Amino acid sequence: MSAPRAVGREVERVDGVEKVTGAARYTADLKFPRLLHVAVVRSPHPHARVLGVRTERAARAAGVRAVASGRDFPLHTGIYLKDQTVFATDRVRFVGDPVAAVAAETPEEAAAGAALVEVDYEPLRPIFDVEEGIADGAPLVHPDLGRYEVVPWIQPKAGTNVCNHLKIRKGDYEGALRRSSRVFENVFRVPQVQHVPLEPHVSVARVDLAGKVEVHTSAQSPFTVRHLLCACFGLSHGDVRVHVPYVGGGFGGKAGINLEPIAVALAKRCPGRWVRVMVDRHEEFFATVVRQGLTATLVTGVDRHGKVQAQKMHYLWNCGAYGGYGVNIVRAAGYTCGGAYEFPNVWGDSIGVYTNRPVGSAYRGFGMQEIHWALEQQMDFVACELGIDPVEFRLLNALGAGKATVTGQVLDEDAGRVDLCIRKVAAEVGMDPARQRRPYSGKGIACAVKAPAMPNDAASSVVMKFAEDATLEVLISGIDYGQGLMTVAAQFAAEALDVPVETVRVRGCPDTDLSPYDWQTVASRQTWATGNAILRAAEEIRRQLLATAAEALGVPPGELALARGTVAHAASGRSIPLARLVMGYQFPDGHAIGGPVSASASYLPEGLLFLDPETSQSAKPVAKWTFGAQAVEVSVDRETGQVTVEKVSACYDVGHVINPGLIRGQTYGGIVQGLGTGTMEELIVDTTTGRAVNASLMDYKIPSFEDVPAVLTAEFVETPQRDGPMGARGIGEHTMIPTPAAIANALFDACGVRIHDLPITAEKVWRALREKERGERERAGAAGVPAAAPAASGAIA
């Protein structure tokens, strides 16, 4: 057998055997023969006009096979708002914005070719702050905003930097505020953070000689990738095929579309050749997508009994340079702005603002951790000022059956019990107001709620079929990137058809040419949506099996049942193994009935209604709610400000626990991810240059095993969801939502300082402690009494 062909000729002889080495080893991959490698030319400016792009020298460079720029592909893409260019045309909008790309035989040749691309820029004034972005006279990041394509339920404001604005108007907020006995106002901030998937973004594409596009990509949503590529390049869906293999982490960052348009653009210039685009770890931090930042201003008016009567939320979302996906986070945050509480009078504004920071997009929680960071601290602050126990204050104001959300949706009995979650976690960490306290040790609580943020017609479908030996094959297009979808899908199918789970094979790694349709693997919707589709398909499988067995046994189908891999007739004791039915049943005389047993089914959320465009009131704007709570215990080092999270207790109303091991793993993983965004993660952008200054795992810290709390507990309430598969509802994202706020509330309980801006770093806590002690000394001096020793709690820094 001859040695693999290496286009880059990087071959060395090791122990007498020729081996492909270096970058050229990728060309030996039989899946992508003659693979071309891409280097992207990215903007060094946060905001600038593009006056000219010259690619002639790059095109003549050794090994270069194609060069593309905005002149060649003046196209836009975006799932909800088509505002992002494939390659910059008139201007660049963040450091890292693609301007051109070079495809070559090796990565080194691609990089050398990219270095020869010449770009003329005219720097423009950049915007990094949302308050500056919405100010009168601010430079426009998108002067053509009014001409972009947008879905009907997203509301950009032409001539401004506002890419979406959702208003929530419920009751008489102004009147209720005037009647309130106490009013409280606070501002909270959340920075941009990175998803840090183990596998960076990578896409491979080819355009064959007939013009068909084929893409292999690390993504969460193969059918959405196909749809957006078709919309971008003006292609038929029948001429684009997308494969998604196992994905090495997503957390929302691989939802929608990312590198795929660049790969397709270059593939179109090199027909018949595979083209690969990938980012390295450094680029992953700023050149793909990040979680949006948030500035939240909250005003709360309460009556003399401690019931919230007026609530105002003003959210300014830092969407970065493009808002194609992020605009829906703005929307979801708006209609969920009341959190887990019943607020009778609400004035809310959720506003997405363009800046010249990295692109904001989906991140686990889809805006919910950010708004709960503000709301749950606000609730704690109000309770403290009123002298009410924070647990009791939450229970007094909690949502429940018969109560209305901020959009006016009255919750049914199956909506979930946040009150039970609150009680369980409070008891688990011992949040008794009369408990004995230890200096610089505190306990805090925070609630959480999330609904699936998706279009009203977001569907999931499955195909189920048998092999000859009655092995059941379940074809799905949801992506299992660690949450356990394939395991849960097997459980649903096995239980519905009463077959051993080990005889079920779930086929993932979807291919849009062959796999059943699924909207996206986002919104914590797969267990619920795909699970429902599986149960519907199983019902059709059951009907076919019983019909064939009834004819074979000569009994009515209603007298038969599926039982342990057979169709059984209890009255006579007879049964037929499924292996004799799934390909059709043959009688002793040779004639046969039935045929291969298979079924397809889909699930679409039912009864959803649009929000009113002026008030966001709607009887049913979302498919379901999942409620939960977390309580934490922390200790604080007074000398260094270091906060150690000792214990986290979580409880969620999940409707029905399908797999105890998976759901606990999801809960613990979410807690640790929430610990990261709560105490250490922040993408820092230099506001002079627009560059991310900590774009490496050396400088951007995420939790390690040493950071995991000593004690983690997880409990679950089971209030069955009426339209959930076996009563279940989603939980994948919810488990990280309340963690930062619960830590902040425990910190205040421990030492009397409140951190308003994430993350809760040791430096911030140390400075707040010193400021608190200085204030205590000044007050003591003014009163003419000696300053007391540092207290463990009691003031706000």
List of residues 6+ apart from 241 with CB closer than 8 A: 212, 213, 214, 215, 226, 511, 512, 513
- What are residue 750's phi and psi, to 5 degrees? -80, -40
Pairing of strands 275-278, 36-42: parallel
User: Would you say residue 23 has pLDDT above 80?
Assistant: no
pLDDT tens, 457-469? 999 999 999 999 9
Identify the CATH number of the domain defined by range 34-124+201-278: 3.90.1170.50
- Radius of gyration of the chain from its Cα atoms, rounded to whole angstroms: 29
pLDDT tens, 521-554? 999 999 999 999 999 999 999 999 999 999 999 9
Given this chain, do its domains 34-124+201-278 and 458-603 carry the same CATH topology?
A: no
What confidence tier does 790 reach under pLDDT thresholds 50, 70, 90? low
pLDDT tens, 48-107? 999 999 999 999 999 999 999 999 999 999 999 999 999 999 999 999 999 999 999 999
**Between 399 and 482, where is the model more confident?**
399
pLDDT at 31: 85
pLDDT at 12: 43
- How far, in Å, CA of 284 to CA of 258, rounded? 11
- How far, in Å, CA of 613 to CA of 618, rounded? 10
pLDDT at 782: 86
**Between 16 and 221, where is the model more confident?**
221
pLDDT tens, 162-213? 999 999 999 999 999 999 999 999 999 999 999 999 999 999 999 999 999 9
b/e per residue 527-543 (b: at least 16 CB within 10 A): bbbbbbbbbbbbeebbe
Is the bond leading into 759 cis (omega within 30 degrees of zero)? Answer: yes
pLDDT at 787: 58
- How far, in Å, CA of 110 to CA of 384, rounded? 60
User: Would you say residue 774 has pLDDT above 50?
Assistant: yes
pLDDT tens, 480-492? 998 999 999 999 9
The CATH class given to the 458-603 domain equals: alpha beta
What confidence tier does 29 reach under pLDDT thresholds 50, 70, 90? low
pLDDT at 265: 98
What confidence tier does 723 reach under pLDDT thresholds 50, 70, 90? very high
pLDDT tens, 696-711? 999 999 999 999 999 9
User: Would you say residue 3 has pLDDT above 50?
Assistant: no
- The mean predicted confidence, pLDDT, of the chain is 94
Average pLDDT rounded to a whole number, residues 14-23: 39
pLDDT at 784: 77
User: Would you say residue 117 has pLDDT above 70?
Assistant: yes
Q: What are the catalytic residues?
A: 733
pLDDT at 797: 42
- How far, in Å, CA of 452 to CA of 731, rounded? 10
- How far, in Å, CA of 327 to CA of 81, rounded? 8
With 0-12 / 13-18 / 19 or more C-beta atoms within 10 angstroms meaning exposed / middle / buried, residue 715 is middle
User: Would you say residue 11 has pLDDT above 50?
Assistant: no
What is the DSSP-derived secondary structure letter of residue 158? T
Identify the CATH number of the domain defined by range 290-455+609-767: 3.30.365.10
User: Would you say residue 617 has pLDDT above 80?
Assistant: yes
Tell me the three-class secondary structure of 744-789, residue by residue.
HHHHHHHHCCCCCECCCCHHHHHHHHHHHHHHHHHHHHHHCCCCCC
- What are residue 778's phi and psi, to 5 degrees? -65, -40
Helix (H, G, I), strand (E, B) or coil at 98: strand
pLDDT tens, 561-612? 999 999 999 999 999 999 999 999 999 999 999 999 999 999 999 999 999 9
- How far, in Å, CA of 314 to CA of 179, rounded? 21
pLDDT tens, 329-346? 999 999 999 999 999 999
DSSP 253-268: TTSS-SSHHHHHHHHH
User: Would you say residue 9 has pLDDT above 80?
Assistant: no
Domain residue limits, the chain? 34-124+201-278, 290-455+609-767, 458-603
Chain-centroid distance of CA 100 in Å reads 29
